[in-house]
Amino acid sequence: MKWLTLSWLVGRIRGMEIRFHFSMLFSVIITYFIFRPVNSRDGLFALLWLIGFVLSIFLHELGHALAAKLVRVEVKSIVIWLLGGFTNLSREPEKSLHRLSIYAAGPFVTILLGLVFFVAFYGSFNLPFLWIDVSKMLFLSLAIVNISLFVVNVLPVYPLDGGNILHALMELLFGRSNANLITMIVSIPILLCLIGFGIFTHDYILLAFCILIALAIGTLNRQTQHWINLGLSYLFKRAGYYFLQGDYERAAQYYTRDIERESGQVNHYIGRAYCYLLMLQKERALADVERALIIAPNNVIAIQLHGDIYAIEKNYDAALEIFERAHQLNPNWGNPSLAAGLF
Ligand SMILES: [Zn+2]
């Protein structure tokens, strides 16, 4: 899914990359369908509106970035995409007060922009006659857009800025684990209201947005994370679902089905090998790992598992040799304690 992160570098501010995500290409089409310009004057208006909108998002992100710089957190990049933007920090700031100021800076800029466009709207009455209509409409529209963005953005729903502000505030007052719980308790009812509203108004973009939010909320709590994993596995990978449930026998049956369907897919053999190993059927596990290694000799997980099986059989010389190879391929692997931890 690498294409999902495809973006173009459009500039650099003090070492910070400014990038446009490929979804921005659709913004031109969407703007066209919103305004449906019939003459050059309408076309110009649509173009200026789009520029103003993108600029508003960019300034919002720049607000986050500047606040991050102030608390000495390196900013890697700002990415502008179709539904907004995000600021990539090199690390999460440790202090919740620092996080609070970084998350609050974006919405602060947005509400400020809303006010600036309102002032510009009133100021544009003094412009030459020909430009009054275009600029009045433009400034008013951008003022409304920014104020609406602000209102949605500060909803106390994780991971919107408002949710992050709430989380940082709660952490400041009650500590990290309580902050996770409180943020979840506040986020979920609001999310449910948004989903209800989305269903009622047939707003599918809002519903898709809610799914993204729901997935993010899930990361706040291990238990929900576990349920999300289970749900996704059940939908897309039945074998993985039973594996997570600890029903290794049924998981192995589903892996066998997967192998019959896609015999060249190394992960099915590895999955089944893990099931066999956890059911203490070492020979069958070994056979599957060896098959996996024929398909993909450099698959580090298969190599690791191969070593684990030897370690369990107390053939430590062979195991160490294999772990060494896994470690060379990827320094995160090749640690025999993984096997010791399992058994
Ligand atoms: Zn923001």
For 249-297, what is each residue's pLDDT tens digit?
Answer: 999 999 999 899 888 888 899 999 999 988 989 899 999 999 999 999 9
Q: How far apart are CA 260 and CA 296, in angstroms?
A: 18
- Note the pLDDT of residue 102: 94
Characterize the bridge pairing of strands 16-21 and 7-13. antiparallel
Last residue of a domain, one of 236, 271, 289: 236
Q: Which of 120, 154, 188 is the last residue of a domain?
A: 154
Q: What Rg do the C-alpha atoms of the chain give, in angstroms?
A: 27
Q: How far is the CA of 77 from the centre of ligand 1 (A)?
A: 14
Ligand 1: distance of its center to the CA of 137 in Å? Answer: 26
Residue reference for tokens 């053999």: 269
Q: What percent of the chain has pLDDT over 70?
A: 88
> Which secondary structure element, helix H or strand E, spans residue 257, and what is its range?
helix 248-261
* pLDDT tens for each residue of 141-153: 999 999 998 998 9
Number of CB atoms found within 10 A of residue 204's CB? 10
pLDDT given at position 69: 92
- 36 and 65 in a single domain? The answer is yes
C-alpha span between 211 and 53 (Å, rounded): 25
CA torsion through residues 215, 98, 64, 76, sign: negative
CA of 229 to the centre of ligand 1 (A): 27
Average pLDDT over residues 7-33: 85
Say how many Å lie between the CA of residue 186 and the centre of ligand 1.
19
DSSP string, 210-229: HHHHHHHHHTT-HHHHHHHH
What are 52's two structure tokens? 């103003």
Q: Give the neighbor-by-neighbor strand order of the sheet with 84-89.
A: 7-13, 16-21, 75-81, 84-89
Structure-model confidence comparison of residues 176 and 108, the more confident one? 108
Q: How far is the CA of 113 from the centre of ligand 1 (A)?
A: 14
Residues 27 and 39 reside in one and the same domain = yes
CA of 89 to the centre of ligand 1 (A): 13
Measure 122 CA to ligand 1 centroid, in angstroms.
Answer: 28
Tokens of 76: 């890697």
Same domain, 75 and 23: yes
In sequence order, the β-bridge partners of residue 17 are 12, 77
How many A from CA of 143 to the centre of ligand 1?
A: 17
The pLDDT, as a whole number, for residue 253 is: 92
Residues 11 and 49 in one domain: yes
- Centre of ligand 1 to C-alpha 107, Å, is 6
Q: Are both 120 and 73 inside the same structural domain?
A: yes
Provide the residue range defining the domain that includes 65.
Answer: 1-154
Per-residue pLDDT, averaged over 93-105, amounts to 92
If asked whether residues 57 and 202 sit together in one domain, one would say no
For residue 118, what pLDDT band results from cuts at 50, 70 and 90? Answer: very high
pLDDT at 160 over 50: yes
pTM over 0.75: no
pLDDT tens column, 79-93: 888 767 888 888 888
**How many A from CA of 181 to the centre of ligand 1?**
22
Better-scored residue on pLDDT, 180 or 107? 107
Residues 145 and 160 in one domain: no
Task: Supply the pLDDT for residue 52.
Answer: 93
In this prediction, residues 165-176 reach a mean pLDDT of 91
Q: How far is the CA of 111 from the centre of ligand 1 (A)?
A: 12
Ligand 1 centroid from CA 189, angstroms: 22
End position of a domain, from candidates 136, 154, 172: 154
Please give the tally of structural domains in the chain: 3
Question: Looking at residue 178, what is its pLDDT?
Answer: 85
Residue 197 Cα to ligand 1 middle (Å): 23
**Residue 71 to residues 120, 283, 296, 304, Cα–Cα distance (Å):** 32, 57, 47, 42
216 vs 183, higher pLDDT: 183
Please give the distance, rounded to the nearest whole angstrom, from the Cα atom of residue 204 to the centre of ligand 1.
23
pLDDT at 227: 64
What is the token pair recorded at 214? Answer: 């729901």
Handedness of CA 315, 318, 323, 324 (dihedral sign): positive
283, with CB counted inside 10 A (0-12, 13-18, 19+), is exposed
Could you give the 3-state DSSP secondary structure of residue 21? strand
Whether the Cβ atoms of residue 164 and residue 172 lie closer than 8 Å to each other: no
- For every residue of 42-88, DSSP letters joined together read HHHHHHHHHHHHHHHHHHHHHHHHHHHHHTT--EEEEEEETTEEEEE
Q: Which amino acid is at 98?
A: H
What confidence category does residue 238 fall into, taking pLDDT thresholds of 50, 70 and 90? confident
Place of tokens 């190394």: 266
Distance 62 CA to ligand 1 centre (A): 9
**Distance in Å, CA 141 to ligand 1 centroid:** 20
pLDDT value of residue 98:
93
Which has more pLDDT, 337 or 209? 209
One domain for residues 311 and 232: no
**Pair (141, 170) in one structural domain:** no
CA of 145 to the centre of ligand 1 (A): 15
* Average pLDDT of the chain, as a whole number: 84
Claim to verify: residue 6 and residue 62 sit in the same structural domain: yes
